[in-house]
Structure 1
Amino acid sequence: MTCQSSFESCPSEIFFEVWDYLSYRDVYRSFSNLNQHFKLMLASYNNVPARITSYQDVDVAALEFFSSRITRLSTSFRYFTGLSSLSSLRSLRIVDKPLSYSHYYSFRFLVNLEHICIVQTAQWNNKYLLRLSDDVMSNYFPRLRLCQIGEVTRTFHSLWQPLLYLRSLTISTKDPNIYHQILYYCPSLTRLKLTIDFLTRPTSLEYSQHLSLRKFELCLILRSISICQILGYLLTPLPNLTHMTVHGPEHHSKQLDIHLLRHLLRKHVSKLEQFHLQMLVDKTLALKLRNEDYRIHPLFRRMIIDQKTSHLSLAKITLSTS
């Protein structure tokens, strides 16, 4: 008669919970050759997470054993080429250096992806990320709900399709007309983080209202367009927005008309509950704002002006509703 240790008699769910905190490689090497009981338990272990940061994390035997059950992958190892075997992958996070992507990062066969997160140090000019962003917008991943990618652009070859399940999107763009296209093709978005580097004004002012978006985080790299001007353009189609954060340019100042800003927020996003803006301004403007009567800006309950910046002629201003 075979006696089972108290360790082995623990419910499978407890092992699965513990294994989620271990590497797939260690789980396989530690339990696959113990006995038949653990072999059967490993065979029923689904939703396997994997993290690959170096060559040592790549275990061919373990990958082959778990390949159809790995649902979450985080990798910062640029030479990992095993994506094609991970047919059940639902969450993919890639941390990599600029220009290190190559042809093996083709994701089109990962049709079950629900989360894509690309963390990179370079914002622009990566042709592989541009290809990925085009694949995303062409609905190669019909189950996608959360997406963080690089720059989004569009050519006449692009065949964008509606992304009906996408709820959260983090992107960057230099094309001012991409914004309304994103809203049109992502009707279910509730959260958008957008980094923009507009050199010119939008050529098209046509828009349709986006009723789902609630949270909007905006990172501005503007040179010639005023902040109020671009906010007027961006906020017009968002009547149900409740939370907004604006990060102004980090290396040069912009003029800010608080009266106009207040007007734009009240006109376009009347349901706004929280607003936060931080940007560099000329110290002359900062002094003027410091001396103005707060009662004429009831929308902004909190105003902080920091004149101790690395720029002698600039100050940092923070406006907030709380």
Structure 2
Amino acid sequence: MESYNAFMKTLTININEITIFKYLNTSDIFQSFFNLNLRFNTLLSSLNNLHHTIPEDNQCENIDRFCRYIYSLTILGKVVVNLNRFKHIHCLILHDPVDTLLQQLDIDNLPYLEYLSIPDVLFRMSSMYQKLFSNRFPNLKFCNLFECETIETILPWTQTLSLCFLKIGFIDFYVYTAILSACPNLYYLKLHIFQSYLKLSDIQPHRNLRKLEIYSEIIDWYYNDQLIDNFLRCLPNLEELIIYRLISKIVDPIPDYDWLASIISIRLSLLRYFIFSLHLEYDLAFIDFITTEMRRQLRKLFLNAHKNRYQSRFIIN
């Protein structure tokens, strides 16, 4: 009984100490408790989900004592960091990284990488695409490159089997099919549609993609529908579709528009959820012109077009 009580007391102390760690950043935890005694060192070494952020104004921080314990790392701005020191990173977020940091993104430095987000790099990403779509990160499951540059040149890609969730920037139909071919296990894809006149006749179906988000700033709705039709024609098992589209001052064609209902009926027999988000251009006069009654009418037209064949939602903002 005494040994049990002693065990429970030790367990309670350990839990309380770990709870305290949740309120401190990683640097403060190791600065305060590392090498304090053997028990604290044991506790610190047992932590397996630590996050650390390196801000742009703190490049000289001493991270040697805890870098091997970091699970998730965020680097802000023009910071020069040796990623090889963070061997156990599973999650990496880079905001406006320098070239030397991008060049380090490889399996040798990041053997356990599962989550990668580079949300705001407009250029210098060509080599990253080659690594991403050629299985240079065999454990990578989630990748966010949504605000990155347009992919214009495709080098020979092999397949990356682990990638399931991808957010990519502006792509045309040719790059889109190349990505689907390189990522056969892709489950979720978010993209920014790029105007293209290219059509491919031989398209292999991608049977694992279940959720697709398409952002489009193309004002010509009927031409845009042709592009979306091309993007949907190879997704026979898609279950959720989200479309973000702009609307200009010209609203006359909208009453005759079928809100992609005919395309969906042909291409997506398994669709369960459809969200159509309509974004008004930033013109105050036009925004004022879209009255409450007009919004109600647009929503009614949308719902009538889809007729409860699946769950549908119309958003206008």
Question: TM-score w.r.t. structure 2 length?
Answer: 0.77
Report the 3-state secondary structure (helix = DSSP H, G, I; strand = E; otherwise coil) of the residue aligned with 1:246.
Answer: strand
State yes or no: 1:270 paired with 2:266: no
Structure 1: tracts of 5 or more residues without a match: 302-317
- Give 1:10 shift: 3.6
- Give 1:14 shift: 5.0
- Give 1:195 shift: 0.7
- The within-5 A match list for 1:1-322 is 10=12, 12=14, 15-16=17-18, 18-56=20-58, 59-60=61-62, 63-96=63-96, 101-106=98-103, 107-108=105-106, 109-120=109-120, 124=122, 126-127=123-124, 129-149=125-145, 150-151=148-149, 153=151, 155=153, 158-198=155-195, 200-222=196-218, 226-249=223-246, 258-259=257-258, 261-279=260-278, 290=297, 297-299=304-306, 319=314
Tell me the distance in 1 between the aligned counterparts of 2:261 and 2:81.
51
Report the 3-state secondary structure (helix = DSSP H, G, I; strand = E; otherwise coil) of the residue aligned with 1:245.
Answer: strand
Aligned residue type for 2:183: C
More helix by share: 2
Given the superposition, is the C-alpha separation of residues 11 and 82 from structure 1 closer, same or farther in structure 2, using an over 3 Å criterion? Answer: farther
1:27-50 residue CA offsets vs partner (Å, 9 max, x unmatched): 111101422321232233333221
Conserved 8 A contact 1:20-1:48: no
Tell me the distance in 2 between the aligned counterparts of 1:293 and 1:217.
23
- Give 1:117 shift: 1.0
Given the superposition, is the C-alpha separation of residues 208 and 291 from structure 1 closer, same or farther in structure 2, using an over 3 Å criterion? Answer: closer
1:22-72 residue CA offsets vs partner (Å, 9 max, x unmatched): 211101111014223212322333332212224347532xx2122222121
Aligned residue type for 1:275: F
Given the superposition, is the C-alpha separation of residues 86 and 262 from structure 1 closer, same or farther in structure 2, using an over 3 Å criterion? Answer: same
Which shows bigger deviation, 292-301 or 51-60? 292-301
Conserved 8 A contact 1:93-1:118: yes
Identity of paired residues, percent? 23
Tell me the distance in 1 between the aligned counterparts of 2:128 and 2:168.
12
Question: TM-score w.r.t. structure 1 length?
Answer: 0.76
How many correspondences in the alignment? 287
- Give 1:138 shift: 1.9
Please give the root-mean-square deviation of Cα atoms over the aligned residues, in Å.
3.5
Given the superposition, is the C-alpha separation of residues 214 and 293 from structure 1 closer, same or farther in structure 2, using an over 3 Å criterion? Answer: closer
Tell me the distance in 1 between the aligned counterparts of 2:167 and 2:191.
6
Tell me the distance in 2 between the aligned counterparts of 1:251 and 1:38.
62
